[in-house]
Amino acid sequence: MSAQTPTRTTAAARTPSSIHESSPHARRRKRRSIAMTGVLFLAVMAAVTPLALLLWQVVANGWTAFGWEFLTQIEPLSYRDRGGGYLHGIVGTLYMTGIATLVSVPVGIAAALYLNDNPTGRYAFVVRFFTDVMTGVPSIFVGLAVYALLVSGSGGLGLGFGTLAGAMSLAIIMLPIVVRSSEEMLRLVPADLRSASFGLGARQWQTALKVTLPAAAPGLTTGAILAVARGAGETAPLILTALGARQVITSLTGSPQSDVGLLMLDGFRQPFDAGIERAWAGGLTLILITLTMSIVARAIARRSQL
């Protein structure tokens, strides 16, 4: 009896005497939870701080030249002259990015559907392999390839610099992003939804169009936005395909096309303050274009789910 008394006393000492008093294990878990919350908060701040500094730098330097005149007029002939804007670059960016989106997004989502429905199919490994390879290829090599295939007259189609060649280079850059992001989003769709659709007699293409795609619409929209943002901000491949222009161009081929990134490159390479201010305003314009596309795409995706 005497040997069991300390054990009972120790057990009683370890048991909280009140519901408001926590055990040592609970207090230890609470401290660990607070510590991990602090670590995660620091990680988020470390990721957000560079983005906030970048946005502040672009807005602070580009706001002086940004305005209605910047959006509705073309750049003056001399970089030292103030006024004017990037209308020709904005039109060219939207033109080429729009064509690239119409090409890359449907093809990328179709490829992702194939990979999702046939993960071990005959061509699944080949598609994944080339998608991964193209994701890591520097964009300048894409420009070289399009230049050799479309722009150059020796060994290529000889279309010359223009909107179509620039759009195709952007589409090639955007396509792997759409494929990989769309495949990951389609994997998140529960298999029970597809099984229920097959059980009701729907065919595979009907299930894909009416069940799988609507369920993954928000994720697919996010992947498309990331691809569009990547394409709108590319400059290296357009040096070899679009080349740049000093006026608004609407033709697909036969004339070099302008782009905001190309105009920014020219603006930052010269020493005059007016040209540098317009280049900063061009960066602010690209941010606003991407933000507007993101808001519109998310609104469309949310409305399609209602």
pLDDT tens per residue across span 152-161:
988 789 999 9
Residue 124: Cβ-neighbour burial (10 angstroms; 0-12, 13-18, 19+): middle
Extended beta strands in the chain, E state? none
Q: Give the pLDDT band of residue 1 (cuts 50, 70, 90).
A: very low
In the prediction, which pLDDT does 165 show?
Answer: 96
Going from the N-terminus, what domains does the chain have, and what CATH number goes with each?
A: 83-278 (1.10.3720.10)
In the prediction, which pLDDT does 293 show?
Answer: 81
The mean of the pLDDT values for the chain is: 88
**Residue 126 burial (CB count, 10 A):** 10
In sequence order, the 6+-apart residues with CB closer than 8 A to the CB of 241 are 143, 146, 147, 150, 151, 161, 165, 166, 168, 169
The yes-or-no verdict on residue 270 having pLDDT over 50 is: yes
CA gap 238, 167 in Å, rounded: 9
Considering only 23-37, 49-63, 170-184, which range has the smallest mean pLDDT?
23-37
Residues 298, 240 contacting (CB under 8 angstroms): no
Mean local confidence (pLDDT), 190-206:
90
Mean local confidence (pLDDT), 266-280:
94
Please state, in angstroms and as integers, the Cα–Cα distance from residue 239 to each residue in 95, 101, 130, 256, following that order: 16, 20, 25, 10
DSSP code, position 151 = I
pLDDT in tens, 57-100: 999 999 999 999 999 999 998 899 998 999 999 999 999 999 99
In the prediction, which pLDDT does 24 show?
Answer: 79
In the prediction, which pLDDT does 97 show?
Answer: 95
In the prediction, which pLDDT does 43 show?
Answer: 95
Name the residue with tokens 């597809």: 194
Please report which helix (H) or strand (E) contains residue 134, including its range.
helix 124-136
pLDDT in tens, 94-139: 999 999 999 999 999 999 999 998 888 888 999 999 999 998 899 9
CA gap 22, 169 in Å, rounded: 63
